[in-house]
A and B are shown apart, each in its own frame.
Chain A
Amino acid sequence: GAVVSQHPSRVICKSGTSVKIECRSLDFQATTMFWYRQFPKQSLMLMATSNEGSKATYEQGVEKDKFLINHASLTLSTLTVTSAHPEDSSFYICSARAVPFVGRGASYNEQFFGPGTRLTVL
């Protein structure tokens, strides 16, 4: 299946610093990537939809100036957590939707998930 990588897998930073997380589709192109956040023992909550070459669409309650998303190419989207605070500590997961649809038919909406990035803000 298609592979999505995230870097770094874990990051610990001091409060007030910024952290950049990369999401790459390794063997396919993705016009759309999604960023999710997962708190311990909770579900994945969609933060934003990232479309290549255009501005990201943020979900209600997600501060776009705090969580900067850049989808500069068909294989890379980045999420930058600016001025991080301890409450930003979480597991951040990206997913990418392949174009063309990989192996499953034109109407299939499979998203390939990255392994996640564990952010701890001290």
Chain B
Amino acid sequence: GEDVEQSLFLSVREGDSSVINCTYTDSSSTYLYWYKQEPGAGLQLLTYIFSNMDMKQDQRLTVLLNKKDKHLSLRIADTQTGDSAIYFCAESIFQAGTALIFGKGTTLSVSS
């Protein structure tokens, strides 16, 4: 079945690293994504990883994928108050034409 799970809340101090975790169940996932949603706004694609990769780094963001355990994580280095938002993990099963399956989102709260 298709199911994406995330922890609901994470609270960190400004300057610390944040790690948001996600697990998925469908081993045929081809792409895994991280989206950011600020209050009242739509979704912004942060980064994505193809299923044959283990890691992807993009500036302050590091994505780790453990395909064996079906575990995905997003690490935000030097977290800032502007990073406070809801972060959604999503997967797509096929390469083309399919909708994404989203987790429930992790609310990241950054305190100064």
Q: Does B112 contact A (CB under 8 A)?
A: no
**A43-B31 contact given A93-B43, A97-B97, A111-B100, CB 8 Å threshold:** no
B-side interface size class: 20 to 34
**A46-B95 contact given A108-B31, A116-B41, CB 8 Å threshold:** no
User: How far is it, in angstroms, between the C-alpha of A114 and the C-alpha of B44 when the chains are bound?
Assistant: 9
Which DSSP category, helix, strand, loop or mixed, fits chain B's interface? Answer: loop
Our count of residue pairs bridging A and B at CB distance below 8 angstroms stands at: 61
Please give, as numbers and ranges, the residues of chain A lying within 8 Å of B103 by CB-CB distance. 43
Please give, as numbers and ranges, the residues of chain B lying within 8 Å of A49 by CB-CB distance. 99
Q: Does B10 contact A (CB under 8 A)?
A: no
Q: Which residues from 57 to 112 on chain A have a C-beta closer than 8 Å to any C-beta of chain B?
A: 93, 95, 97, 107-112
User: How far is it, in angstroms, between the C-alpha of A108 and the C-alpha of B103 when the chains are bound?
Assistant: 20
**A110-B45 contact given A34-B99, A42-B104, CB 8 Å threshold:** yes
Which B residue sits closest to A57, measured CB to CB? B99
Q: A43 near B102 (CB under 8 angstroms)?
A: yes
Q: B42 near A32 (CB under 8 angstroms)?
A: no
Which DSSP category, helix, strand, loop or mixed, fits chain A's interface? Answer: strand
Please give, as numbers and ranges, the residues of chain B lying within 8 Å of A109 by CB-CB distance. 30-31, 92, 94-98, 100
Q: Which residues from 23 to 46 on chain B have a C-beta closer than 8 Å to any C-beta of chain A?
A: 30-31, 35, 40-45
Q: Does A7 contact B (CB under 8 A)?
A: no
User: How far is it, in angstroms, between the C-alpha of A113 and the C-alpha of B41 when the chains are bound?
Assistant: 10
> 1/0 contact trace for B1-21 toward A, CB 8 Å?
000100000000000000000
Residues of B with Cβ closer than 8 Å to A? 4, 30-31, 35, 40-45, 48, 88, 92, 94-105
Residues of A with Cβ closer than 8 Å to B? 1, 4, 6, 32, 34, 36, 41-46, 49, 93, 95, 97, 107-116, 118
Please list 9 pairs of residues, one from A and one from B, whose beta carbons are closer than 8 Å in the complex, sorted by A's number: A41-B105, A42-B104, A43-B105, A44-B88, A44-B102, A95-B100, A109-B92, A109-B98, A113-B44
Q: Which 3 A-B pairs have the closest CB atoms?
A: A115-B42, A113-B43, A43-B104
